[in-house]
Structure 1
Amino acid sequence: MPRWLERWLRQQIAEYSRLAAELQQLLAQLGLTAAEIDRFHAWPARRRSVLHGLEAAHDYAARHGHLAVSHPTSHDGFALGKWLNQVRHRQRAATQPTRLGRRLTALDTWWNPPWPLDWQRYYWAARHHLHGLPEGVVWWTGAPDEDQARQWLHAQQASWHLLQPGQQELVSGAARGGVARCRFSAVPPRTNAIPEPVYRAHPRPQRSRSSTGFQANQSSASAPSSYGAFRSARSTSGRSS
């Protein structure tokens, strides 16, 4: 069977319940009935194929730069989000890294974080907005835009004492050096947008810490200047355009 046809069939199986009735009837003419779909999902070895899972994980990580995928995510017809969720549960139940876990770690060090995956996806989005997308990497469906990532970084500063040490390390690393290397060309420009005062390219008069809420939030010296990195990077981008 050609590889493209195998991928197409896996995609139809993964999304069968969401297909229109007419499409399900067409698949039935090919022998892919609802009963066959149920038998497919009842066969764990086929449903959770390690080979197909690693292949899909490798392709997804190469394309999007991470494995912090949401549960319903499918890649080339393979239910990657569900498969990774199962692997994470098995890895957390193990007393040491499994062979499969080590192979996934080689693709993404934080494929199995001890904090929510939503947080991890926002981290990757903020990092890519600050430093630019690595060569060959593209945005994933539903990725946070620049403003959402900026607000997320601001929220991390405001709740810095609540973050785990690993989270603090990631946020600090994302902010470090982001100004010099930031490229916003990957983010579609906003039209008819009124620039916010915090994005002015020219220096502003010094104000007391109590004059702005953002400056007051930065009273903790331990939190990195992630929000300021976005502000400076945006100003640099505006002068160069």
Structure 2
Amino acid sequence: MAVHPMRDLLRPCRKATTATHTPWPHPRTAATARPNPAAKQPSLETGLHYARSYATLTGGPHVTVSTKHEGFPLGRWLLRQRRQADLYTKKFSATYPADPHLSAIDRGGTTMERSLGDQPLQGPLVDRGLQLVPSNGFPGTPESVGQWLYAQCVAYQELHPEQQRRLAQLGVTRHHIHSARPRRVSQRASFAAGLVHARAYTVQHGHLAISRGMSYNDYALGLWLANKRKRASDSRLPQDQVEALNAIDPWWNPPWRYPWQLTYHTTRATIRDLPLDPVRGFPDLPAGATRWLITQCTNYNDLHPGQQQLLADLGITAQDALRAKPQRESRQRPHPGAPQPRPSTVSSSIDGWPALRTFVRTSPRRTRNRTVRRRARRLPPGLVAL
């Protein structure tokens, strides 16, 4: 039997230590400790700590979603607790376990719907001396605030008593809920307002090809038209509204891609009063307009009949499209030292011009050189790529 003097020497101490050892208690945060506000998944104790601190400081956890207290996102945490309470109640038909703790801080608790956002309104409304008039849709308030107040009046009977008390502090009581009117403008009135601006724009410019972010007379006409085109594409725009827009501009919602329509009207405004010579490649036009027109003539047979009609309005017919050719580059080679001729407004790589042949002839060499350089960068020092 092998002798292990060191093991035999330590055995009594190990047994004694094991016999007298008592497990450490589970680590807990001291009552005076400050939880970490930057925790990605804060515990209930951490959220309650900051909620109690904020309630002590302000008189109640009246927060918005963006509210932070000592670096802790208290607003988002309370919103998450409210959502979890709703899910828990629907699934188990029981009270959310954290409700008693939050109710001890605020009488409304997290089960109060719309608890976020009502208290911060009180200060601005009182400071401005604004009197709420529910029968007129709460005039003087921002549209979102007026719509929110109207929603509270509609669901007043379902609100928590604490919510009703807070609304009374804003000036909305039980006597106002039946006379409240919505702040939002009806869809028909909104369409009528946008139609007025659309007519005015068409009188000035002759079309409704407007980019999404464009405004006209401080009205977001581009966004308004984009929304109408979207609804018309989904067959959700009423027929009378479609006919009203068609009466202003038949191509306000073209069946082809909308960027083509924008480019067409940009080109039309650019070449106004300029001669068109498709046989010579439109030499009197700017470079961008020349490229675009040559492209349309080359692909004339693939265009929609409506696009062909719009080109005819410019003065380009089917016969003109067949005769249109890109501008040729000069074939005369300058003497050494002479300045190089300015390149054509149209790429000479169309229809097999010299630039295309040069590119085809040199592209394998360019590809090989690029491959060799790439391989050389990956080789260890001292080696040369073949």
Normalised TM-score (structure 1):
0.47
**Structure with the higher fraction of residues in helix conformation:** 1
Which structure has the larger Rg?
2
